[in-house]
Amino acid sequence: MEEDLWRSSAQARQTLTTPQSKALDVVRPGVPVDVCEGLIKAGAFDRLEPHRGLLLALLPQMAHRRSFGGQGRLAISAEESSLPELPPLALRDRLAWEWDLLGFSLGTHPVDLLEGRAPGITRMRDLGQCRDGQTVRLAGSVVRYQTPSTRSGKRVVFVCLEDGTGLADLAIFEDVQRESGDVLFKSPWLLVEGKVRRRGPRALSVTAVKLERVATTPVSE
């Protein structure tokens, strides 16, 4: 199946420049179309045909034509197919497909898309340049929670966030937990306002003063 789909991607590109190509092999019979669609959306064949929208546009024609090539592959003739003039696939759409199918992005991190909607975000690679006590605004996905016991008995929640450029350790005390408990434990993506606390030349954390909910993924809006 993989060999045929890779061949199809190359032939799809060839068909764009030579409309007289006689056949476009798509996939072996019996492979569900939704499986092929998922592979295309996830970028499995980007090396040969980077325009995922083109391959998706060809799939319905393949699915409704049950003519077989000489080696048992389902095929459509290039003359009978109508290859659309498609604009480049939007970055937001590509990321949404990857997050939906894979749970992560293969290229651009979704936080990159937040910068226009949430100005003033400090990327985690730049936290080392921040001074002690400086107020910063971070955005990222939750990597893990920790709630260790403390001598005072007060609960402190430590959260590790990532934004594709690095990691940040957050300390969230009880006052912020009371105000933002639903956001803290129910949203996999967080917008955080906090103050940098430096414990040494390279060791630092951020004490959160405000948490905001972000969409399930920044690409879903």
Helices marked H in the chain: 2-17, 33-41, 52-64, 91-102, 111-114, 174-186
Domain boundary among 34, 57, 89: 89
Domain tally, the chain:
2
Q: Are residues 125 and 208 in the same domain?
A: yes
76 and 147 inside one domain: no
**Cα–Cα–Cα angle for 123, 124, 129, rounded to 5 degrees:** 90
Q: Is the residue at 132 inside a domain? A: yes
**pLDDT of 76:** 44
Residue 134 contacts residue 168 (beta carbons within 8 Å): no
Task: Indicate whether 56 and 121 sit together in one domain.
Answer: no
pLDDT digits (tens, 9 = 90+) for 13-38: 444 443 223 223 445 556 677 888 88
125 and 191 inside one domain: yes
Q: What residues in the chain have per-residue pLDDT under 70?
A: 1-31, 61-84, 115-118, 215-221
pLDDT at 175: 92
Is 102 inside a domain boundary?
no
Q: Do 11 and 56 belong together in one domain?
A: yes
Q: What is the pLDDT of residue 211?
A: 93
Q: What is the pLDDT of residue 87?
A: 84
Answer whether residue 94 is part of any domain: no
Select from 111, 113, 101, 18 the least CA-distant residue to 52: 101
Q: What pLDDT is attached to residue 64?
A: 59
Provide the residue type at 106 as one letter: L
Do 62 and 125 reside in the same domain of the chain? no
pLDDT at site 173: 93
Whether residue 55 is found in the same domain as residue 85? yes
What number of residues does the chain have? 221
Question: What's the pLDDT score for residue 65?
Answer: 54
CA distance 164 to 114: 12
Residue 221 located in a structural domain? no
Assigned domain for 195 exists: yes
Could you tell me if residue 145 is inside a domain? yes
Q: Give the CA angle between residues 11, 15, 20 to the nearest 5°.
A: 120
Which pTM does this prediction carry?
0.60
Q: Are residues 41 and 80 in the same domain?
A: yes
Span 84-96, pLDDT tens digits: 677 888 877 888 8
CATH number at residue 164: 2.40.50.140
What is the Cα–Cα distance from 141 to 118, expressed in whole angstroms? 15
**Residue 177 belongs to domain spanning:** 111-213
